[in-house]
Structure 1
């Protein structure tokens, strides 16, 4: 932290009449979560009430003003780890609700004791700055306990199989819509995710709010009671993660929310980001994307986006991770969206863990197909942060190895000599506008494929099968195919010999390097009598 900022934060004086929370951040050497006299305080730890920031003194002591309804939290320093609560979540926050909150259907926040003492236990964390491995889930979104079970069997079991016997990652994020409106499912989701033995941070989504409250300020009461603050920061070596509630609840309106950031959140952001040097990497974790959904008007308030961009513009290689869309897309913000940084701002709109809302025909495990509207299979992302760069990888759960990076769609048979109007499509899940995708037939020359924005043919085919079926093919039919932003097409030749032909596609992705997939088609000779 810049020395001048540290000095100023340490010297903040608050009115004596204001309610305060105070305590000590200490090194928990015996790991019991409680402080004994031999355990030293930890200096320089940032504490916040969601607006202000103070820093612990040489003995680990702090005090900070609180208002009814505040949540006081510690910002994890990069060289320490928090103690763990009984449910597996990190212990770094305490509510200040001495009169209790409103009582929405799912509980809200219970009355807290009047005394304002809150100690934070830390343990030393031996973590290299060379690379940070982060798991990213978006929109797990079960409606029922059965679907929460799908999440555990499909997503959590996939991660455990990938990293057996060890913590699954250095850090985990869920980018909102932890559940779909039934907040009583939170404990089941927490238990499942805790199996990964990874510190896990949760972002509130539009399906995580209390809809039976009068305003946005109360809309995350049950979320906060379960997960802690809805806006906070977490530091790892060289990287600061900012978890931000960007759902503005609009009771009585349609839609009942819009993307945006409130005044208290901006106060926190301005004060927190001022403590970081320009060279620090800032990763913003939100639910609603910062870009507007196509054809839906202003889905994120433009004034808030511009104000946020102004705060982020000075940092090296900032990154935005968002969810909500149930599609997967990479957006690079520039001048057209108000970004003024030296390089475009990368926003990775992460695909949904539930895919298309746990819909579609079940596989042999009994788990729905669940592909998203852009044809991306459901799954999760891994992001590896190194000092000078980062890498991203999408894990398509439940898919065979041949379809883990892309899915090919092609006709099974064409008439030999027919006009070449039919093609092979490649849905490259991590593809971007500039991704090079090529195909070849048999052992022929590699030919560029043309990028297009269109519905994925494989999902379109599932939609047709659902339409044509006289009986229900699944509990919920597959979602309707919508435009994919990572789809390529190549025309299939029909002037080759009769018989089977091999189609091979290769894509040169930014982080996975060259990935390949194979399919085929057959050319048949039609008898002359069949000609019109």
Structure 2
């Protein structure tokens, strides 16, 4: 304020004395810094075999319009816009390049008008039934990691697709941290997607950002070059899918918070305005909007562990049946409140490719979702394991703190599951749920020198462990877990 008044007074006195040359030079920009906000008209057509498709949402990332009855669109934008893209409508195949979804065009900002047509292929099957998978945190940092992704994870997904009836629709969500700051490995990630046989939509993670950027807006430069916009939507059957960027880079290498920018929220308001209330909306982010980590560890919430302004997102999702898909934490967790359920996924890389399990004992793997109309069913697919591998039972003595008890880890558990145990064929009732460490994770990851590959990895406290105390003479223990859909899974151990 003092400086502004000084300059004002200085100007009034200009007739009395001469402004020094140094001041004049300092006030003259050495290089043009103006941002070009000139109006830009985006126009084109969305069609299938030459026939226009009406009602398709088209956006520049700020405003949203829809195509007319002939499939034509026109949107007033500006030269600050980077992409024009569509929300792929239901009933059409997902355009992709070797598995990487292509629903956008980078904008050529020269002539005041940018014309782009989108050609879609109509599906020959009813897409109200379809499946999708969530790959959280492939997080490859080396060629060795990339080889594991391409020779284990990707073939596992390809085999899963083959296990379903021919023609079953699948798509994937790469839920962030596709690589681990090594952008040259994006090519390896793309090769893995091609091997998987599934078209993927991708989410930016904190390890997919340019950490030398001076601001959040600039930190997604490389990701956008590789995969396009960082927030967008698409449709399949009766489900509306949304991808958001909830990793806010604070301008210092590897520092970020969980946060949704106002531009994204404004865009989302417009995007959801075209969706009928009561519909199912699947929102995909990297950082979980919420977790129980603070509660489990008795600490305050970490700014980079959840989304600070998540309640604003929840308000927007309130009219819908919403599923939020996230990763980032390398553990499995679910929470539900009202019409919203969040699925925090165990990771493709497990505990950063150091062993066969995540830090909470969840196997390396991914979420699988089967859609029928507006309803979702799901299970967790452990890499290299059968679909029915949904729990692990530990014998007595695996945890020093509980030497007389057996322990079951049911990693895809939520409060609607039932976990029971049998002793020598006799039902003993429900197991007791406790919050503690997984025994195998302790064995693999606890201690200053473990694991050798990444010593920062530690076992983490989880809610999905269940305990029971067998009789002294028990010979066989069977644990039966029933999920919310009535599917029954079991594991048996023989007592020593």
Alignment of 1:171 onto 2:171: yes
Matches within 5 A, 1:113-512: 116-164=114-162, 169-252=169-252, 256-291=255-290, 293-294=293-294, 295=299, 296-299=301-304, 304-315=309-320, 317-333=321-337, 343-360=338-355, 369=356, 371-399=357-385, 401=386, 404-411=389-396, 422-463=404-445, 475-476=453-454, 479-494=457-472, 496=473, 501-511=475-485
Give the structure 2 partner of residue 46 of structure 1: 57
- Counterpart CA distance in 2 for 1:425 and 1:509 is 18
Asked if the contact 1:167/1:196 (under 8 Å) is kept, the reply is no
Provide structure 1 residue ranges, at least 5 long, that are not aligned to the other structure: 1-15, 30-38, 99-111, 334-342, 361-368, 414-419, 523-532
Give the structure 2 partner of residue 67 of structure 1: 79
Asked if the contact 1:82/1:121 (under 8 Å) is kept, the reply is no
- Counterpart CA distance in 2 for 1:177 and 1:512 is 33
Provide structure 2 residue ranges, at least 5 long, that are not aligned to the other structure: 1-36
TM-score, reference length from structure 1: 0.78
Summarize deviations over 1:501-524 as a string: whole Å, max 9, x none.
Answer: 1111111112361110011222xx
Instruction: Report the 3-state secondary structure (helix = DSSP H, G, I; strand = E; otherwise coil) of the residue aligned with 1:425.
Output: strand
TM-score, reference length from structure 2: 0.84
Shift of 1:152: 1.6
Instruction: Report the 3-state secondary structure (helix = DSSP H, G, I; strand = E; otherwise coil) of the residue aligned with 1:124.
Output: coil
Shift of 1:475: 3.7
- Counterpart CA distance in 2 for 1:392 and 1:425 is 24
Shift of 1:233: 0.3
- Counterpart CA distance in 2 for 1:41 and 1:388 is 27
Shift of 1:150: 0.6
Give the structure 2 partner of residue 530 of structure 1: none
Q: 1:114 to 1:191 in 2, by over 3 A?
A: farther
RMSD of aligned residue pairs (Cα, Å) = 2.7
Give the structure 2 partner of residue 84 of structure 1: 96
- Counterpart CA distance in 2 for 1:180 and 1:133 is 28
Shift of 1:219: 1.1
Asked if the contact 1:359/1:478 (under 8 Å) is kept, the reply is no
Q: 1:475 to 1:248 in 2, by over 3 A?
A: closer
Which moved further from structure 2: 39-48 or 276-285?
39-48
Summarize deviations over 1:102-137 as a string: whole Å, max 9, x none.
Answer: xxxxxxxxxx89861211111112342542211111
- Counterpart CA distance in 1 for 2:477 and 2:454 is 33
Shift of 1:17: 6.0
- Counterpart CA distance in 1 for 2:432 and 2:60 is 51
- Counterpart CA distance in 2 for 1:484 and 1:167 is 38
- Counterpart CA distance in 1 for 2:305 and 2:403 is 40
- Counterpart CA distance in 1 for 2:387 and 2:236 is 35
- Counterpart CA distance in 1 for 2:456 and 2:469 is 27
Instruction: Tell me the matched-pair count.
Output: 449
